[in-house]
Amino acid sequence: MSKTVRIAIFASGTGSNAEALIKKMQTLPSENGRVEFILSDKREAPVLEKALRLGVTGYLVEKTGDRAVHEQEILKLVDRHQIDWIFLAGYMRLISPQFLKELRLRHQGQAQMVNIHPSLLPAYPGSQAIERAFSDQVPESGVTLHLVDEGMDTGPVLRQEKLSLHGFESLSDFKARIHELEHRLYGELLENIVNKKIATSFFKEVIEC
């Protein structure tokens, strides 16, 4: 019998990508995969309200002064729900090397954390990528899906798609087209993972010696 892929979504803001992922999951066979929870590090993040409205468990793990303590609290949720894949959807906190190491221990050497970024990496890493590309009036930008590693937006690229920058459009129009592309690409990745077109190293509990 095929295993169910368990997914967690981490988000810090409005959660438009998180909402699109949940709605995409609702169109897929429930026995193949499910979103176990949405996690946010910000109490006022609208994504938590969206999780409630969409019937998905939401967790708040606020930032603390101690990064290790914060990540250990998150890891407890990963273990409780036996998470196979983590989708970052506007999660505005760098993932530490130690956290990635812990994930790899649970997934046979694979961290299985993915991120979506609104530029054609390596161009415009970090925050305000859409605004910076628009300000520079580049002829094209786009969206990148990549695995998460120890750097900022530096992990192995899974997929990129280009989008032309129309010289006559506003920043808000450009943002809307980028976000539409993000939702489609992330949804397609989710579908490929859930339908086993992308291999999953399933969660394995770490036994403390």
pLDDT digits (tens, 9 = 90+) for 59-109: 999 987 788 999 999 999 999 999 999 999 999 888 999 999 999 999 999
Host H or E run for residue 141: strand 140-147
In angstroms, the CA 98 to CA 81 distance is 20
Please say if the pLDDT value at position 209 is more than 60: no
pLDDT of residue 201: 96
pLDDT-based confidence at 166, cuts 50/70/90?
Answer: confident
CA–CA separation, 10 and 18 (whole Å): 8
Catalytic residue among 117, 146, 179, 183: 117
Locate tokens 């914060």: which residue?
70
Nearest to 49 by CA among 89, 83, 18, 81: 18
Q: Give dist(CA 176, CA 62) in Å, integer.
A: 29
Annotation says 117 is catalytic: yes
Write the single-letter amino acid at 18: A
Place of tokens 């993932």: 95
Return the percentage of the chain with pLDDT > 90, whole number: 89
Q: How far is CA 137 from the centre of its chain?
A: 27
Look at domain 5-194 and name its CATH class. Answer: alpha beta
The rounded mean pLDDT for the chain is 93
1-46 pLDDT, tens digit each: 579 999 999 999 999 999 999 999 999 999 999 999 999 999 999 9
What's the pTM value of the predicted model, to 2 decimals?
0.95
Radius of gyration of the chain (CA): 17
